[in-house]
Structure 1
Amino acid sequence: MKNKEIERIIVERYTTNWATEFEKLKSVLNDYLKTLIYSIEHVGSTAVPGLSAKPIIDIDVIINNKDGFDKIKTILEKLGYTYCGEIGIPGREAFKRDSPLTPFDGSGYQWHQHHLYVCLENSDSLNNHLRLRDYLRTHLEEAQEYGRLKTELAARYPNDIASYVEAKTAFILQILEKVGFNQEILSKIELQNKALKPEAK
């Protein structure tokens, strides 16, 4: 276990800057990954207009299969991302930024803080991200309720990401049940969210 200071959990009011910064990142990633990928999606709470969130952009790079993953991994490493593996989430490969300048596109730009994942098309983890995002985008009252819950939990667990994640899991699961996830998948998501992981949605 690394002796590392725990980053404080802060939930902020929505800003359109999150969408703007995502589009900049998407443009750079598309320039380098080109035909190796299917699409790039802005997911997580920063992708939902009006929703309060931790100010960290979640990016899913979607691939049709794993055939070109080694090439994608090599390109991302050259751009300043370190490969972290699945971290307990099948179908989702996580990458960590090496520097505030990551991705290294030569511009010297200090990019907005973000999490980057390479996800298999139609995987449970990707469907979780996309369906939750799309539901909250079209159900403003529930999105605002979720934002209030996260604000309360950030105040209750300011230095405990595991408890923060687990405490908001029930809200996420009831939405995923509404959009058609079966009990087997919901149970897997619940177990995954009980694990200590720093890249919470």
Structure 2
Amino acid sequence: MSDQRLEIVDYDPAWALSFATEAEQVATILAPWLDGAVEHVGSTSVPGLRAKPIVDMLAPVASLEDRASMVRVLADAGWLYWPDDPNAGWRLWLLRPRPESRTHHLMVIAVDDPYVETLVAFRDVLRGDAGLRGAYAELKLGLAARYESNRNAYTNAKSDFIAEALRGVGVEPPERSRLPE
């Protein structure tokens, strides 16, 4: 995936509408496999939180066994699949419209994978805790300045904060591969 300069912007209420529009389409496309609602996750799902202006979406599916078919129907709808994702064993990771001007990320994950719970739990704890939300915003601003052209390093550097926030609400984050920096 091509990196673009990291940009953290003020919260935009339009992100919720953008999510709703895409979620409806994704739910229709993935209907044969979907096992739950398409969720708005990540920083754009948290009112008041500064974020990269990229809407993160989670589509829980019964299984990833038919991944080739899921990738095909999503690609036909304009989603770009990242086959070199180091976490491809447990998720499908897609974006649109293209790496250098992405507006949406889509993670397709088996509903019984613990990462589904962690994505939703982290969103919910940020929505409910203004202090934690503020600390996370500060961390993200600092990391974006430090890693302005290295999206993977930025993502990896947030891991400890996210893990501690999750543990604070009784959710143990699963061990996952770090992204190559």
Cα distance, 1:87 vs. partner? 1.8
**Corresponding position: 1:94 with 2:93:** yes
Percent identity among equivalent residues?
29
Could you give the per-residue CA deviations for residues 85-133 of structure 1, whole angstroms, max 9, x where no partner exists? 4722242111233559xxxxxxxxxx97011111111312222211111
**What is the 5 A alignment of 1:1-201?**
6-38=3-35, 39-85=37-83, 87-89=85-87, 90-97=89-96, 99=98, 113-182=103-172, 185=174, 188-189=175-176, 192-193=177-178, 195-196=179-180
Could you give the per-residue CA deviations for residues 9-33 of structure 1, whole angstroms, max 9, x where no partner exists? 1111111111110001112222333
**Which amino acid letter does the alignment assign opposite residue 48 of structure 2?**
G
How many aligned positions are there?
178
Cα distance, 1:141 vs. partner? 1.6
Could you give the per-residue CA deviations for residues 117-170 of structure 1, whole angstroms, max 9, x where no partner exists? 111113122222111111111112211210121112212221232332233222
- In 1, distance between residues paired with 2:156 and 2:94? 22
Contact 2:44 2:51 (8 Å CA) reproduced: yes
Equivalent position SS for 2:38: strand
Q: What is the root-mean-square deviation of aligned Cα atoms in Å?
A: 2.6
**TM-score scaled by structure 2?**
0.84
Equivalent position SS for 1:30: helix
- In 2, distance between residues paired with 1:175 and 1:169? 10
**TM-score scaled by structure 1?**
0.77
Rg larger for: 1
Equivalent position SS for 1:36: coil
Contact 1:86 1:93 (8 Å CA) reproduced: no
Equivalent position SS for 1:87: coil
Contact 2:9 2:53 (8 Å CA) reproduced: yes
Unaligned runs of 5+ in 1: 101-110
Segments ≥4 residues shifted beyond 4 Å: none
Equivalent position SS for 2:31: helix
- In 2, distance between residues paired with 1:156 and 1:168? 12
